Amino acid sequence: MSHISIHWFRKGLRLHDNPALMAALQGCVEIYPLFVLDPSEKLAGINSCRFLLGSLKDLDCSLQKLNSRLFQKWKVTRLTFESDTEPDSVDRDRRVEKLAKEHDVEVIQKVSHTLYDTERVIEKNNGKPPLTFNRLQTVLQAMGPPEKPVPSPSLEDMKSVQTTGWKKHEEEYGVPTFEELGKDPQSVGSELYPGGEQEALRRLDEHMKRTGWVCNFQKPETSPNALNPSTTVLSPYIRYGCLSARTFWWRLTDVYRGKKHSQPPVSLHGQLLWREFFYTASVGIPNFNRMKGNSVCVQVDWDSKPELLAAWREARTGFPFIDAIMTQLRQEGWIHHLARHAVACFLTRGDLWISWEEGQQVFEELLLDGDWALNAGNWQWLSASAFFHQYFRVYSPIAFGKKTDKHGEYIKKYLPILKKFPTEYIYEPWKAPRSIQERAGCIVGKDYPCPIVNHEVISKENIKRMKLAYSKRSPDPSESKGKVKGEKRKAVSVIDMLTKKKKAGPY
């Protein structure tokens, strides 16, 4: 029992609740904590890039306290890492596992990115991912609460473990700088959400102290256009694994204990369950981040309109609420969930009739918390392509923001060109008389764009187009076969009975 282990960090950039890292330390004499900077990381947005580097520095710092460093290679007998469910990662890990076995390297994978093992959830739901939140809850309730987080490694755990000294560590294996990745530090705004486990745990502590707020938390009642985030903004930390979802879950359980508190789906526990919902769906539904070949996704004849897409992406739609949100997204890397609703509906079924896949790509670049499964799932939700189907419920780019920000303070913050507009016209500056535009120092059509669509007209047309898309949905081919051929249906029900055998028992 004298292993030389590599622990491969990918997501899960933390020491707490890291079962794969703990497995690496078991009976281990030497450990190489490793992070491989993917060249494709260069394509990520500048905010995400900074967050990742910050998280790596923090991790390196914590490892040094344990007399270790981020590292590479040598006479390795064991490789450990956290399971990852994204299709490309699954592919990569399968190849790595094969390679490792060829070299007699033991491979240990642990589930610690999600609350539950998504494969098991799908199994418990008869091989299909739950397609409604209620269904997911029913399945999870039968499985019991999520596993408790494992403790962080201590100096005690490290006492018989060493990392070979490496003189040129910093030059050869140190965490690179922003510039080394070809990014311009001048082009990024102030760092509102610094990466790293320490900051994640600090933020968690800070919010968990607000017991009343935590117990009363109801997501739909938080504000999309608050000047300071009305929610925790722990999502970037959970996305990179700086914070364990299970740690968050159990901390909430501690706060809730003995108190009256809100419930899923709107509670903070509920927010973690929504994450679980989309993770599970993404594992069980092939081609989850695309329309074509995606069995749950309505096939819509989205238009290709590069100039409108660019206007949306670059905050030039002429709708201040939309443009302010897109500005915050680009500058800060985070926007409120309901703000995402507003801009996503606007891009897709509401106004521009542009594919949700385009929006998905923009969010992936700009969001610090751009999580593959959640991004794909929520874009399908908001575009009424899957999970949500009431496509006639269209967010108004004018009225929606007014509910929580009557005076348009949020708009004035992110679109300072409009800051002198009177409240009356802040959501619809094109309606202001010329004299008022002049007094505000902002002429619509010159200093700020005219609206690129007529929302009242286009949203009604789009509802009709959605209706058409839904009516064209082809019935499931296996079902229609069943209807034509009685035999086929019998076969299906036999399989059904076998899979439900256990449940049928007590009857």
What CA–CA distance (Å, rounded) separates 29 from 162?
6
Cβ distance to DNA smaller for residue 48 or 396:
396
Among 64, 67, 134, 499, binds DNA (CB under 7 A): 134
Cβ distance to DNA smaller for residue 120 or 485:
485
Structure tokens, 425: 């016209």
The region that residue 77 occupies, defined by phi over 0 for left and psi between -120 and 50 for alpha, beta otherwise, is alpha
Q: Does residue 369 have a known ligand-binding role?
A: yes
Question: Using H for helix, E for strand and C for coil, what is the string for 50-93?
Answer: HHHHHHHHHHHHHHHHCCCCCCCCCCCCEEEEECCCCHHHHHHH
Phi, psi of 87 (to 5 degrees): -50, -45
What CA–CA distance (Å, rounded) separates 268 from 248?
9
Give, in degrees to the nearest 5, the angle at Cα 287 between 308 and 94: 130
Q: Does residue 360 have a known ligand-binding role?
A: no
State in angstroms the smallest separation of the CB of 485 from DNA. 11
Query: What Cα–Cα distance (Å) separates residue 446 from each residue in 246, 324, 417, 442?
Result: 51, 18, 11, 8
Among 130, 241, 284, 370, binds DNA (CB under 7 A): 130
Pick from 470, 462, 456, 468: which is nearest to 350 by CA? 462
Q: Tell me the per-residue interface mask from 156 to 195 with DNA, x by CB under 7 A, - otherwise.
A: ----------------------------------------
The alpha carbon dihedral of 356, 361, 366, 371 has a sign of positive
**Using rule CB under 7 A, residue 485 touches DNA:** no
Site residues for DNA, window 380-409 (CB under 7 A)?
A: 381, 388-396, 398-400, 403
Q: Does residue 233 have a known ligand-binding role?
A: yes
Among 61, 87, 109, 133, binds DNA (CB under 7 A): 133
**Using rule CB under 7 A, residue 431 touches DNA:** no
Strand partners, 110: 82
Site residues for DNA, window 257-286 (CB under 7 A)?
A: 265-266, 270-271, 274
Among 132, 162, 177, 304, binds DNA (CB under 7 A): 132
Give, in degrees to the nearest 5, the angle at Cα 481 between 480 and 484: 90
Strand order in the sheet with 106-110: 28-35, 3-9, 78-82, 106-110
State in angstroms the smallest separation of the CB of 277 from DNA. 8
Among the listed ranges 84-92, 129-137, 152-160, 436-444, the one in contact with DNA (CB under 7 A) is 129-137
Interface size with DNA, residues (CB under 7 A):
40
Q: Does residue 62 have a known ligand-binding role?
A: no
**Using rule CB under 7 A, residue 474 touches DNA:** no
Among the listed ranges 66-74, 413-421, 466-474, 497-505, the one in contact with DNA (CB under 7 A) is 466-474
Q: Does residue 275 have a known ligand-binding role?
A: yes
**Using rule CB under 7 A, residue 138 touches DNA:** yes
Phi, psi of 422 (to 5 degrees): -65, 150
Q: Does residue 274 have a known ligand-binding role?
A: yes
The β-bridge relationship of strands 3-9 and 106-110 is unpaired
Site residues, DNA (CB under 7 A): 130-135, 138, 219-220, 265-266, 270-271, 274, 296, 337-338, 341, 381, 388-396, 398-400, 403, 456, 463, 467, 470, 473, 482-483, 489
Residue set of the binding site for FAD: 231-235, 271-278, 369-371
Residue set of the binding site: 231-235, 271-278, 369-371
